[in-house]
Structure 1
């Protein structure tokens, strides 16, 4: 049984846009190869607080990472730290805030942009620090890390959907087309990931509104998708919480005594 996990966080992706615009992922759903769940994000619906939520299972109000300006290392165990402590290999192609949360802060692009250090929580990383960094390049960075280091846990985090939302808003063609492009990039990689036996989750940190922002309580800002692909998932209707993503990742990785919350109904019989 393959215990390797890929977590794709499509920054700023609203649930309805994912449902309406991402033909490849929804095609997998229609063919029975994937399931789609609607997830309500924790509050505030902002990036750095919800990166921490996805990787530690803690609500922002509990983690203390309550806005994007709080720049410090996470004080909680994370999927990265638990995997590393268990002797697994970790990697991330992601925005530099992940490096600041789980490796070292402040981010130094010369030192940290390309990371390969087994003592770090994110042992192998390709980090970027401009929101307009092309998603196509980011997905190639992720695939490079996967092929070179064969990580047990790989985080893939592109930013262009969020960037388009901040520039043009939720209802814009630019925002919807950014989602379509990410779906196309995933279609070039995901079939091979599935063939290799990875358990894959595709989700988002938060959504977007027509004010070209997020952070509040509206459905547009809080409702995000969770696509799950792989034989370890139950593919049955059930509740999916953002605070359960970390625990779900840990279960899929085969980590024991992680003490993170998760909904066992999301997992198949072999994973319980």
Structure 2
């Protein structure tokens, strides 16, 4: 081997093993950056490849090494191969729901969590403008919040009820696994409070909370009317935490598209369900989604991507109702 080539090869390897990376570019094209249109919190939220979200004040540079690694240099540390970045992220996230519920419990309040699967923040605002959610929109302004990645129900639901990221929950896909951390239902039990979850035809996360499953008894193509009926029964003597998970908007949005007339009409049906449940419930209320959805010309609607439509969700809180 030519001595000159050998010399530079040795230098390159030594630099690599010493932690000195050689870069081929200094632009941000190698990582997705979403600029939050409404400034809410200075800085950045960096989604890491191991399932965490890291908040930083400043990003110094984004570079790519000759080995193909993307390196984000922040004012505090380096992040390797991030999934994506949110610039000026919302102050709240899906994980905020855990602490909201815990605060209610600590103040001896019962809480109703109405979980509308698949409803993104922008789509929710569009549905307000079009008149599909008259009751929910009357409950107060929705807070714009981040969800976790990947934006699929098993992953996002786990973060909703644990208050932490997929890195810590251990739930990073649809594969059924035991949670690595305790849920808000576990915390409730520790302080002598009760919990129930009203679900579709399967349990989403493996947990000891009492979960009431439902099937499409009338064969009308959705389980949500059965879920609603069971929720009305439970509200007569509710536990301290009652979580009601509606699936039909997500189902219709997958089939027809999230902004389709059929999906929005089903959202209007859910709005009527929410009205009846909230008006009969004696306690505080949280309305939230787990992820949004984006249009796909071939299949209707999809989620699971690192995009604005999937990552931003609405959270509405009604407090001091007793």
Instruction: Provide the TM-score with structure 1 as the length reference.
Output: 0.69
Q: 1:86: Cα distance to partner?
A: 1.8
- Tell me whether 1:182 sits opposite 2:267 in the alignment: no
Task: Confirm or deny: 8 A CA contact 1:24 1:187 kept in the other structure.
Answer: yes
1:128 aligned residue: 214
Task: Confirm or deny: 8 A CA contact 1:17 1:179 kept in the other structure.
Answer: no
Task: Confirm or deny: 8 A CA contact 2:145 2:314 kept in the other structure.
Answer: yes
Structure 2 residue corresponding to 1:139, chosen from 208, 223, 228: 228
Cα distance, 1:50–1:99 mapped onto 2, change above 3 Å: closer
Structure 2 residue corresponding to 1:24, chosen from 129, 135, 144: 135
Residue ranges of structure 1 left out of the alignment (5+ in a row): 30-34, 104-121, 233-272
Structure 1 residue corresponding to 2:290, chosen from 196, 200, 205: 205
Q: Which has the higher helix share?
A: 1
Q: 1:214: Cα distance to partner?
A: 0.3
Q: Which has the higher contact order (CA 8 A, sep 6+)?
A: 1
2:194 aligned residue: 89
Cα distance, 1:97–1:60 mapped onto 2, change above 3 Å: farther
Q: Distance in 1 between matches of 2:122 and 2:205?
A: 31
**Partner SS, residue 170 of structure 1:** coil
Q: Distance in 2 between matches of 1:39 and 1:134?
A: 27
Q: 1:141: Cα distance to partner?
A: 1.1
Computing the radius of gyration over CA atoms, which structure comes out larger, 1 or 2?
2
Task: Confirm or deny: 8 A CA contact 2:153 2:290 kept in the other structure.
Answer: yes
**Partner SS, residue 199 of structure 2:** strand
- Tell me whether 1:67 sits opposite 2:169 in the alignment: no
Q: Distance in 1 between matches of 2:178 and 2:173?
A: 14
Q: Distance in 2 between matches of 1:27 and 1:75?
A: 38
Q: 1:28: Cα distance to partner?
A: 2.8
**RMSD across aligned C-alpha pairs, in angstroms?**
2.1
Task: Confirm or deny: 8 A CA contact 2:123 2:259 kept in the other structure.
Answer: no
Runs of 4+ in 1 over 6 A off after TM superposition: none
Q: 1:136: Cα distance to partner?
A: 2.2
Task: Confirm or deny: 8 A CA contact 1:51 1:98 kept in the other structure.
Answer: no
Q: Which has the higher strand share?
A: 2
Instruction: Provide the TM-score with structure 2 as the length reference.
Output: 0.59
Provide the aligned length of Structure 1 versus Structure 2: 203
Q: Distance in 1 between matches of 2:271 and 2:143?
A: 17
